[in-house]
Every structure is written in structure tokens, then in C-alpha cells.
A and B are shown apart, each in its own frame.
Chain A
Amino acid sequence: MQARHSIFRTGFVHAALIAYTLISLFPVFLTVINSFKDRNAIFRAPLTVPTPETFSLIGYQTVLGQGDFATYFQNSFIVTVVAIALVLLFGAMAAFALSEYRFRGNTLMGLYLAIGIMIPIRLGTVAILQGMVAANLVNTLTALILVYTAQGLPLAVFILSEFMRTVSDDLKNAGRIDGLSEYSIFFRLVLPLIRPAMATVAVFTMIPIWNDLWFPLILAPAEATKTVTLGSQIFIGQFVTNWNAVLAALSLAILPVLVLYVIFSRQLIRGITAGAVK
């Protein structure tokens, strides 16, 4: 009875998860198959996979032929990777300070940082633009990196400080007795233990940055600093849209982010943390 009940339950859970996976993946699937078809086929039968008659690489030829797409990819990649690195570094440091040390205004500081989660950074676009103009950072990748770091920090601090609290005090104290500095304790004891949380934060931070159109459009629309998302927009016109090129660009844009995701999700697997403390 017990076993049948649990089989029914796992079956239901799996069905729900599979359904969700299909719903999530369907648009991606549609994008990818249509990127390999010619223009007529995209409109005539958008839901069919490419056949020998409709197969076409025209979209990819257009995108890669534009030449600048390599630069766009590079820009997106630099911005995303550097922003994630900064978010993780500063987020983890702030989280460590908030969870480890008792100081005046600790709770208040934590709340202040958490407010960043609730207030969208886009509300400050005008002020950010003015600031970037004043700092001479318009049309630089630095501008994007700074904005994305600020955007990612609140959630990172919030999630990481919760995880930091779970790291055993005894372990940190053992480190102190062994003569590790507070920085070594942070980098050598605490960070390895919260790697899964760091990976989670990295994924959460990465997706919105990679997909963002708003800030690249406003802060760095120059040819040399365009990101992939912004670059793809050249194929979307007011009257005519080059769907082959748009779909091909989007399909290509999935790849790097997929690679990053695989890298981070491997870190999600715990293992060495088991048995550290009972």
C-alpha cells in the first residue's frame, strides 16, 4: 500500500515536472528549428521541423556574414562573466560580514541591501545615465558591468548570507586557532562550503544580464560595445523583419549561456561538504 502510494506520488511529480519542462523548452525548440528553415517555410509551417526542401542556413549566413557578431558575442560574454565574478566576490564578502560579525547597524544594513531586491534598478535609469555621462563611461563595457553588478548584489547578499549562517562556527573557530586570517577563513573555509549557493546565485545573476536589452540600448549602443541581444535588433525593422537572421542570432545566443550554466550547475553537486561537521 505504502509502496504503491509512493509510486503514484513520484509518478505525479514526474509528470508535472516533464510537463513544465516541455512548456519551458517549446519556445526554445521552435526558435532553433525555425532558424534552420527558409523564410517561406517559417511562415507557412512554423511548427514543422526542417525538411530537405525547407532546410536553409541563410539565417546563419546573414548573422555570421554581418561580421560584427563575433564582437557582440565577445561583449556579452565579457560583461556577463565579469559582472558575475564581481557579484559573487562582493556579494559573498558582504554576506560573510553580515552573518559572521556583530556590529552596530548590522540588521539595518542587511535590510538596506535587501531593499535592492524589491526596487527595480531600471527606475534609476535616468540618474544612472547622467552618472555614466558625467563619469565618461557611456559606450563602454565598464558602464554595463557596473550596473549589472549593482543589480545582482542584493539578491546575492540575501541568498549567500542565509547560507553563510549554516556554516559551522566551530569550523571558523578552528581556523582562527590554526592561525588563519579572517580573509583566509573566508576564502579557504567558507567559500568552498557554500559553492552550491554561489552557483545558484551565479545562474540567477547570469540570465537577466545576458538577456538584457535595456541597459545596452541606453548606456552602450555604440557598434563596438553592442551585446548580442542588442545586436540582434538590427534584423528587426519597423516594416520588415529578417526572421531567419533573428532566429539564428537567438539560437546562437543560447549556446554561451548554456555552457556557463553547465559549468555552474556542476558546482551545485555537493559532496565534499558532507562529513565536515556532524
Chain B
Amino acid sequence: MGSLQLKSIRKAYGSHEVLKGIDLEVKDGEFVIFVGPSGCGKSTLLRTIAGLEDATSGSVQIDGVEVGHVAPAKRGIAMVFQSYALYPHLTVKDNMGLGLKQAGKPKAEIEDKVGKAANMLSLDPYLARRPAELSGGQRQRVAIGRAIVREPKLFLFDEPLSNLDAALRVNTRLEIARLHRSLKATMIYVTHDQVEAMTLADKIVVLNAGQIEQIGSPMDLYNRPANVFVAGFIGSPQMNFIDGARLGDKSAKTIGIRPEHLGLSRESGDWKGKVVHVEHLGADTIVYIESDQVGLITVRLFGEHRYAPDDIVYATPMVGSMHRFGADDRVLA
């Protein structure tokens, strides 16, 4: 249980098309992440799966059953929202139990399931509190608990970590990963943060302007981006893009190389340039170089390095690390 098929989903608001034909298959137990810049339609797609929005055309199947006309509550899904969306006038316990109560489950069963979920998320001490009395991280855990209690076929997460601060974000991310392992449930997760996508996903779906750019495992997307968009979106700092003609490559319009795949030397190398700016991050050193041959490029060095602006340096790409893209921005074989 817990598979999902999307077939040519289209969604338009008036003449403005937000989703332009999405086909996707999610297997039982998979952790799939929709990632893309704001306005790419990833949240709309998630809402369409949830049934909060109706697709203009196309079909949504959960476990092989068409759910296009099924109410959200009957789809066997649970959703965690960016804004938590807890019921402000209910206690944590009632927040988590409301869905089951609406479904007419007996009290003892609700009690039991809420207890288990609270235990899993270490929320026991807070069961009697109202959302206003909780911190942001606790609220998000309650929202996750509310989803667990429903024992859904599909978990839907809509940017659940965006409102948390950096430290809490890492903790909650771990918690979600742990949850996925212990529940073995199918999870669909929307984010614009590629770190979340890379760390959590079994499968990443990169969306742009209402279309799927590429589907693959995190390492697939990193090592074999299908086009310039995915290459630029995955990886931080962003991949360097160099005009093919500048490197004497006639067939490739653009050549991409990741900052971590460039070596740097003061003595000799392929591309001579002047250091423009250096960022010391401790574990990494990011060096920005203005080169006559390839323009402004970013180099990511591991560890600490003593480069300073105006130093003359030579950058050399590692063997086999170049990505070549054709005139249509797609990768060349």
C-alpha cells in the first residue's frame, strides 16, 4: 500500500498554466522530494495529490485507485504544512486526535494512537498544552504527530522546515528521516532547499515552470544532470557555466563544472586568473576567480587555504568532471 501514479496532470488558473503535464510514479515506501524554485508548481502539485486543488486534467491514482473525485479526508493521506496549521483552540492531544475522532474511531483507539505518536516524537509532556504554549519546533512535531496518527498511505510534507531556525531544521530533518525508516511509509516532500532534498530523498523530482526537468536519486542528479537547469539547481555553490566556444568546444554550447571539481595552484594550470574574493568557511574555502579565458568562476577547496584577493592563480578541472550541454540546454552524450 502507498503507491502513487500521476498521469499528465495539468492545472491552469484561467489562462495561466501552473502545471504543464506531470507524469510521475511513486513506489510504496519511497521518499520522494519535489524541489524547484518558487513558483515552479511544486506546492500546487502536492495540493493536487492531497485533493485540496482539482487538476484541470489528468489523473491521480493512489494504490491504483483513481482519487480525482475523492475528498481529501478519504484519500488516505496526511499532510504537514509549512505554517504548522495547528488548531489553536485545541490541546496538542485533541489536535492529533481530531482526524480519528471525525472518522468515528472509538475513544480508546484514539487515545492509544495519540499516545504512541506522542511517544515517538517525545511530545508526552506537552499533550495538555495549546499550540500557543509551544515552541516552533514542538509545533512542527505536533503537526507531524497529527499526520502519523492517521496512519496514512501517503505522507505529504509542504516545506515543513522552512519556518524553523537552522539548528532546529537539522534536528527535525533527522527526525523525519528516522520516521521514514521506522514507519516505512511513502512520503512526498516539497522543498526549495536542495540540502533537504539531497539528504532526505530516495528520489528527487526537479520541477521548473510547471514541468519535470529530471527525476533521479540525489547522486544521479549530482553526477548526471540532464540539463543546465538541474545542473545549476543541484549543488552548492552553484556549478560554473562556461561558454563552449571559449574552451574551443564546437559541439557544446555550455560547459559546466562544479566548484569542487576544480584544482587551484599558484604555479601552473589550465586557466590563469586573478582572485576576486575569498570566503573562509573552515571546512571549505570558496575562491572566486576572474579569468580572461573562462570569465568569473568559483572554486571550492577543502580545508583552509591562504589565498587573498589579487593573487594570481591557475585553475585546473579534474579529469572527467566536465558536463557538456548542447544548444537546447540538454546534456550531450
Q: Which A positions have Cβ atoms within 8 angstroms of B? A: 168, 170-171, 173-180, 184, 188-189, 192-193, 271-278
* Contact B132 A173, beta carbon cutoff 8 Å: no
Q: Indicate if B126 sits at the interface (CB-CB under 8 A).
A: no
* Contact A179 B73, beta carbon cutoff 8 Å: yes
Per CB-CB distance, the 6 closest pairs between chain A and chain B, nearest first, are: A275-B132, A276-B88, A179-B73, A179-B102, A170-B85, A178-B99
- Which bracket fits the contact residues of B? 20 to 34
Q: Indicate if B114 sits at the interface (CB-CB under 8 A).
A: no
A177 to B134, CA, bound (A): 23
Which of B60-68, B74-82, B179-187, B214-222 faces chain A? B74-82
* Contact B87 A171, beta carbon cutoff 8 Å: yes
Known: A177-B78, A180-B102. A275 touches B88 (CB 8 A): yes
Q: Indicate if B238 sits at the interface (CB-CB under 8 A).
A: no
Known: A173-B52, A178-B98. A272 touches B79 (CB 8 A): no
Q: Indicate if B84 sits at the interface (CB-CB under 8 A).
A: yes
Q: Indicate if B317 sits at the interface (CB-CB under 8 A).
A: no
The contact sample of 6 A-B pairs, CB cut-off 8 A, is A174-B87, A177-B79, A179-B103, A180-B73, A184-B102, A278-B84
List A contacts of B74 (CB < 8 A): 179
* Contact B86 A276, beta carbon cutoff 8 Å: yes
Distance between A84 CB and nearest chain B CB, rounded to angstroms: 22
* Contact B79 A174, beta carbon cutoff 8 Å: yes
Q: Which of B193-236 contact A (CB under 8 A)?
A: none
Cross-interface CB contact of B88 among A173, A176, A272, cutoff 8 Å: A272
Residue of B74, B79, B88, B163 with highest tally of chain A CB at under 10 A: B88
Nearest residue, chain A, Cβ from B140: A278
Q: Indicate if B115 sits at the interface (CB-CB under 8 A).
A: no
Nearest residue, chain A, Cβ from B13: A102
List A contacts of B58 (CB < 8 A): none
14 additional A-B residue pairs with CB within 8 Å, beyond A171-B87, A178-B99: A170-B81, A173-B85, A177-B50, A178-B146, A179-B71, A179-B99, A192-B88, A272-B89, A273-B88, A275-B131, A275-B133, A276-B86, A277-B84, A278-B83
